[in-house]
Structure 1
């Protein structure tokens, strides 16, 4: 017979892949272990279900229920309640976290209070910028700390936030009262009021146990513009039906009437909830409830709040709408004044840009940029090439700096960054494609489509996650998010990236799980393409080419090689060539070191297409570069040389331990690296198994048709379900490895031993 856990945590999950791991880790990392997690995958379309399964495999205290249709938060919780076994039930939303030590504090208070029916604990609101705001009514928990009481003895507790996630409920109390969550929005209100009124024994804990995340964009369903907010009327109908059925219901009508009215006003006044054409209807419904449920002898509150009550009582929507419009007009005037001042400061080019923004968009113009306009490369270049094939009616223009003009393909237009032609192009284009952000001054005009392609899978922390590593950046995160707000689409090559981007860049874009267009060549190239890529570098047949590609380090001003290439080349012998490529953050014209001219060490930092280097190389040597994720698509050996892991991970921060989850052999000293490369360790059975695990985790979507999917959906408007389906990993045929001459007309199968 299984032991009954003390605590059961209910964790419903829907489209939370960016936050779910942090939520679960906050529970599993507690210093209290007598709990279970009952997680419900509410038919989530993202990777949330897979994340839950991964954690369940690792820890048998987690049970996962997968639903075959999306039922909503309330019904998902109800399903979990049918499966919990603990003495007490806690609800934890899957984007929130528990504070360290929370469960031991909760369990201790429950025991000290003699197993009350409800325990209320404190919370703080956490924001994207690191701000933490305390519960404004936390004093109510201090006043009653240490006591056990009924709500009648402490009615002021009704003023606490109407959520279920800051409370623990005794399971037999839930069963006795028949507590369940109703369908629809605002389901917490009914549960909260019913449980507090029905409980005979309540206690509180004056300790912050819940970190209540306030998501910036797209996470909170209550911030979605929808008529679903009309559900609040049905929820309060249920609340007052509950009061009508109780002998003591009359005493609670006045405080719950106030809660109802305040809730209705909050829905009306908060932006981003009601459609504009539904506001008057909502107000009239609220006014009807006001008149129908107003208790006898009710006295309106004083001040501005009381005036809003009076407007509802009179059903005077025009009065509320007029007051709201006046505030909006004042804010708009102030905003325009600030904008005018800023434009005047930016000078004549800004005025020209503003004039171009007033002209019609060009439906057939696409502007491309990559790596801060340093040239034609990466995902934007692959999309550009496919666009020329599938949609030649769209004119392609590249934004480049003057010294990069020679990278623009023949027949493709380009504009110099900062010129009048540049500002005219970005003002009037319908499509803007970049693997970084366009400058702050670029305005997202109505009808424009911004495509953020990114330029790698994140091992190192990115975006808002860098706030935890201040030594790694001097970024203005507010400005960063303003730039990211322009995105319509975010391309991803694996589910891991989808989860990271949603958390690191919390904006209202659509994630397109198409794969990275730049990696198409790694799946589509033939043996002849591989030989040609090697001939470009002067690599003879039979030569083993090791591509050394280290990443950028914030704690080093200049590019400094982490190894001695001459000494390593001597160890490798005459049949090996070391290709050395510096990071793009350093000037490509500066050689990474003084290299001998005997052809055994080549500086390929200035090579225009890293994908061609991948094709030519027998093995990749890297540290923390995203190159490892791309190169893994070739299913060729990868060696991680990480001699400064402790420093790098402390300064920049990473999303996983690359030493423990490497795609191949690992070396932490130059001597170890030489030993690995001079033996079979770099391509042996152990390295092959590690690479296979890595590929299955990170090569989800790169199957050779990413650019086609992107062009068909973004530029041609084809629906996602009509796009070419993903080829399963085991059915893909990457470009063949370097070797003896083969038929160059088509890709060849990679031997099973190398898969």
Structure 2
């Protein structure tokens, strides 16, 4: 067993500031709690994060006493969050880990060993790697420098080569007494890391190095504050002013002033040249501020080092922005931006090949026009249809138009306005609509104009890996361009989520700038609106005889297979279950009609519901669900009816597609009910009653608590309020699970309707006509 260290002060206090990282926070915390060295505490500071990061912290703190959570009542910034963490820390050493990064396996053990061997120095410098969103991993530039230091203990002020390391606080450990006794505190604003790194390095008497890559530094595609342009980047001048004030108080460090002057000016040049940091209109002022700092702090006799562009330093010293532009620093950035703009314009021109479309793009947007589509322009269905129907009620000023493939036009309900894909009217509505609603992505040919709002409703809770995670699974990617996928996701303004798990996954695997609507899935509202008669009417339309137990079998697609390959011997299953059961079989919509299924249906062995237009109706009609890895399990769980997981190829599926949690773990919250990994086990589950015993019901309850947290019959209302009516905090708030009224099971529905019939029969006089039943 690893040592816990809970009886005395821990070896490490790991301070984790938390803000808007719900998609990454679990990975960060797991990387800490799964370390083989356990003598540490985690001080997680919720800096009033607007997402659900605080709930994640509470969950981890409840199950591991090493996680200590602190919440700021107002957002104060990363520096203040770190200061709060330091004030609560009790460990021998302080570590600062950003909440979207992770510790590598064995990192704490390696740190602890080096510190023990070095008699507890003031600082420990260690290595890191960079992980990019496309899953490339690159070593740091300091790898050789750290390795060459070996076990040497040194005074950092005398070893200036270590000031060339990446100036961040998460690639080093600080002895807590050294940190606190010297009064170190983080300052407000960006670039606080550089100030802290330099002042602690200049103060420390003893430091050692560790050439173990301890931190995995995540390079996020979106959401990194350092890559968001604005005036906040001007804080860099205040941070370096503080550094030179520190140097002013340390005459013994005067020989080092040229080094830090060069570091400062290089940092200014690097920052000012990036569009992701300083806006074009702010660059003249940024230049003037940098030039003033140059003149104020230039050491006597300073000469720019050979490794930097001396012309840039000289232009800055002269204070002429015109001269500065002439040496191509700022102009090179502007040229790159112009090249990117021309590239985007050429791409747009290539996409918008239709002259008619280009003409329509010049017309004003129609503020009342909304375009809807589902499943790559198939029959209107799923979340988009539920949003469309609710919008007719709550936002009647909107005109909704559906995009449908030409071969499916006949399936569009009467009275529903629609356009045929790639028709002239299609190009017109795509150019002029203000709102776009889809459960997949619109085509690459669609140009998103300023003012248009894209609502991505999705069509399932992700058990399988999605988005950029698919890059690790070639069978799932099948030549998919991640660049194009993310360009499509970049068009999303709003993303609907059914539960916290989904919100976290979408944020991480689609690293784009959308806002999550944590509302539940609109398509599931019907589960809370349908009554007993509705359930019986659906069963009658499907041909389910009264009294029979209907089991819906809905497997998902297999990325490693070509075409529909049945996982079950359906004829055997129906025979073994007996006449009291009827199997409803729904193949994945990727597949065409299966002749074998049609033959079995004609022989009365089962009912093929693969082409039924509403999967929600099938769920309402079914007494139980058999599925494998399909997201239908998360929706069906709302009905609180038995779910049987049939997983005969789990290992293969995990290797070929990847999963976000262990469906077969049998742990509450992971597994929705009984599990079968073979046909015989599946048959046994029904014969023994295991498919709906007490254990299955307990698992189902935990699964519902985790994945049905927001579905309560009002999801569409919340989505319409936020997307079309602009209500920032759309009501109503989700009802607690125990207070929701869900559609009755078929057996309950039959008893309810029978009871109503008997009641009416007892009340009716001989002259009275029969009373018509309604749900």
Q: Offset at 1:427?
A: 2.0
Task: List aligned pairs for 1:334-483, cutoff 5 A.
Answer: 334-335=339-340, 338=343, 349-474=353-478, 475-483=480-488
Counterparts of 1:589 and 1:426 in 2: how far apart (Å)? Answer: 35
Alignment length (residue pairs) = 743
Aligned counterpart in structure 2 of residue 719 of structure 1, from 716, 728, 733: 728
Q: Which residue in 1 is equivalent to 2:164?
A: 159
Q: Which residue in 2 is equivalent to 1:172?
A: 177
Q: Secondary structure at the match of 1:165?
A: helix
Q: Secondary structure at the match of 2:617?
A: helix
1:96-128 superposed Cα distances (whole Å, 9 cap, x missing partner): 112222222222222232321111111122110
Q: Which residue in 1 is equivalent to 2:719?
A: 710
Q: Secondary structure at the match of 2:130?
A: strand
Q: Which residue in 2 is equivalent to 1:570?
A: 575
2:490 is aligned with 1:485 = yes
Q: Is the 8 A contact 1:550 1:581 kept in 2?
A: yes
Q: Which residue in 2 is equivalent to 1:518?
A: 523
Task: List aligned pairs for 1:616-627, cutoff 5 A.
Answer: 616-627=621-632
Counterparts of 1:36 and 1:649 in 2: how far apart (Å)? Answer: 33
Q: Offset at 1:340?
A: 7.0
2:102 is aligned with 1:102 = no
**Structure 1 unaligned residues grouped into runs of 5+:** 747-755
Q: Which residue in 2 is equivalent to 1:39?
A: 44
Aligned counterpart in structure 2 of residue 280 of structure 1, from 279, 284, 296: 284
Mark the CA change 1:493 to 1:744 in structure 2 (over 3 Å): closer, same or farther.
Answer: farther
Q: Secondary structure at the match of 1:182?
A: coil
Q: Is the 8 A contact 2:601 2:608 kept in 1?
A: no
Q: Which residue in 2 is equivalent to 1:685?
A: 694
1:187-227 superposed Cα distances (whole Å, 9 cap, x missing partner): 21221111100011111122322111111011x12222332
Q: Is the 8 A contact 1:529 1:744 kept in 2?
A: no
2:679 is aligned with 1:675 = no
Counterparts of 1:267 and 1:588 in 2: how far apart (Å)? Answer: 59
Q: Which residue in 2 is equivalent to 1:214?
A: 219
Q: Which residue in 1 is equivalent to 2:602?
A: 597
**Structure 2 unaligned residues grouped into runs of 5+:** 1-5, 757-775
Runs of 4+ in structure 1 deviating by more than 6 angstroms, as ranges, are 343-346, 743-746
1:648-694 superposed Cα distances (whole Å, 9 cap, x missing partner): 11111111111122111111111111122233322222111111101
Q: Is the 8 A contact 1:713 1:723 kept in 2?
A: no
Q: Is the 8 A contact 1:123 1:208 kept in 2?
A: yes
Counterparts of 2:375 and 2:196 in 1: how far apart (Å)? Answer: 52
Aligned counterpart in structure 1 of residue 272 of structure 2, from 268, 274, 282: 268
Q: Is the 8 A contact 1:349 1:420 kept in 2?
A: no
Q: Is the 8 A contact 2:95 2:172 kept in 1?
A: yes
Q: Is the 8 A contact 2:721 2:727 kept in 1?
A: yes
Q: Offset at 1:308?
A: 2.8
Counterparts of 2:281 and 2:85 in 1: how far apart (Å)? Answer: 37
Counterparts of 1:447 and 1:665 in 2: how far apart (Å)? Answer: 49
1:433-459 superposed Cα distances (whole Å, 9 cap, x missing partner): 111111222221111111111100000
CA root-mean-square deviation:
2.4
Q: Which residue in 1 is equivalent to 2:68?
A: 63
Q: Offset at 1:140?
A: 2.7
Q: Secondary structure at the match of 1:682?
A: helix
Counterparts of 1:339 and 1:504 in 2: how far apart (Å)? Answer: 24
2:746 is aligned with 1:742 = no
1:577-635 superposed Cα distances (whole Å, 9 cap, x missing partner): 11000011112576646414354510000000100111111111111110011111111
Q: Is the 8 A contact 1:560 1:592 kept in 2?
A: no
Counterparts of 1:343 and 1:68 in 2: how far apart (Å)? Answer: 46
1:211-256 superposed Cα distances (whole Å, 9 cap, x missing partner): 11111011x1222233222222222222122222223232232222
Counterparts of 1:400 and 1:214 in 2: how far apart (Å)? Answer: 39
Q: Offset at 1:3?
A: 2.7
Q: Which residue in 1 is equivalent to 2:772?
A: none
Q: Once structures 1 and 2 are overlaid, which stretch shifts more, 146-155 or 625-634?
A: 146-155
Mark the CA change 1:181 to 1:441 in structure 2 (over 3 Å): closer, same or farther.
Answer: same
Counterparts of 1:590 and 1:37 in 2: how far apart (Å)? Answer: 59
Counterparts of 1:515 and 1:286 in 2: how far apart (Å)? Answer: 50
2:651 is aligned with 1:642 = no
Scaled by the length of structure 2, the TM-score of the pair is 0.91
Q: Is the 8 A contact 1:8 1:86 kept in 2?
A: yes
Q: Which residue in 2 is equivalent to 1:241?
A: 245
1:53-104 superposed Cα distances (whole Å, 9 cap, x missing partner): 3333443333222333322211111122122232222111111112222222
Q: Offset at 1:349?
A: 4.1
